[in-house]
Amino acid sequence: MNRQIRTEIFTRFRAANPHPTTELEYDNTFQLLIAVILSAQATDVSVNIATRRFFPTHGSPEGIVELGLNGLTECIKSIGLYKTKAKNVLRTCEILLEFYDGVVPDSREALEALPGVGRKTANVVLNTAFGQPAMAVDTHIFRVSNRTGIAKGKNVREVEDRLIRVIPKEFILDAHHWLILHGRYVCVARKPKCPECGIADLCEFKEKTTLAQTK
């Protein structure tokens, strides 16, 4: 796929959704960090249900420490890996209070040093909260990038690095959201909704499918 086609793809994404954002619910950078930690192997919908139980009253590092491990565990027990996530979130809050005055750091190194924060989580926070050109590649983005031909790679890191290189700079800050939403609702895993897709004529997957049908 060449630069001209990639530019047209993201131009269409922007026209259809000029101000994309995460579907996780949060009021500040700290809550975004916690929500993303909780979202590992869980849907945004399930995380939102869980955080509604404690964000309104304990949605700060101090609040979660006050809530305690048992209280937090009870609030998030409806999502996967909740016991481990509760421990990680509580320890993260303690570290933020001890070393950062309760403020979420804006560097990758500091974020990835927090319990429960891997590269993908750090990328979401760096991009969404701090406006840095980071690309959090989840299963949706990995699938869309390879299937469409936007950025092919054998693993998540290869796709991430290639997306950062090939996406035109004017689109880079919003590209994560456009790609994940496209993968979540249109370019789905089993039966992609090609007839409903706004970039179908530019997609290498559709091209291969069409060629196969003509043989």
Specify the amino acid at residue 47: V
DSSP assignment of 98-154 equals HHHTTPPP-SHHHHHTSTT--HHHHHHHHHHTT--------HHHHHHHHHHSSS--S
Whether the pLDDT of residue 214 is over 90: the answer is no
> pLDDT at position 206, please?
65
> pLDDT at position 1, please?
85
Residue 67 tokens, joined: 């809530």
Cα 156 from Cα 135, distance rounded (Å) = 10
**With bands split at pLDDT 50, 70 and 90, how would you rate the model's confidence at 130?**
very high
Cα 171 from Cα 142, distance rounded (Å) = 18
Instruction: Give the pLDDT confidence of 35-56 residue by residue, as tens digits.
Output: 999 999 899 999 999 999 999 9
Given the residues 138, 174, 206, 215, select the one marked as catalytic: 138
Residue 104 tokens, joined: 């979420």
- Which is nearest to 54 in space by CA: 76, 37, 69? 76
Whether residue 138 lies in the annotated active site: yes
**With bands split at pLDDT 50, 70 and 90, how would you rate the model's confidence at 138?**
very high
Instruction: Give the pLDDT confidence of 94-113 residue by residue, as tens digits.
Output: 999 999 999 999 999 999 99
Given the residues 120, 152, 174, 215, select the one marked as catalytic: 120
Domains of the chain: 3-20+134-214 (1.10.1670.10), 29-128 (1.10.340.30)
Q: How many CA atoms are closer than 13 Å to the CA of 19, on its beta-carbon side?
A: 0
Instruction: Name the burial class of residue 23, with classes exposed (0-12), middle (13-18) and buried (19+) by CB atoms within 10 angstroms of its CB.
Output: middle
Cα 51 from Cα 45, distance rounded (Å) = 10
Specify the amino acid at residue 143: R
Intra-chain end-to-end CA distance of the chain, in Å = 23
Mean pLDDT score, 120-126: 96
Cβ atoms 207, 4 nearer than 8 A: no
> pLDDT at position 18, please?
96
Mean pLDDT score, 106-125: 96
DSSP 43: -
> pLDDT at position 207, please?
54
Cβ atoms 157, 65 nearer than 8 A: no
Instruction: Give the pLDDT confidence of 157-212 residue by residue, as tens digits.
Output: 999 999 999 999 999 999 999 999 999 999 999 999 999 999 999 999 965 554 44
Instruction: Give the pLDDT confidence of 59-99 residue by residue, as tens digits.
Output: 999 999 999 999 999 999 999 999 999 999 999 999 999 99
Whether residue 101 lies in the annotated active site: no
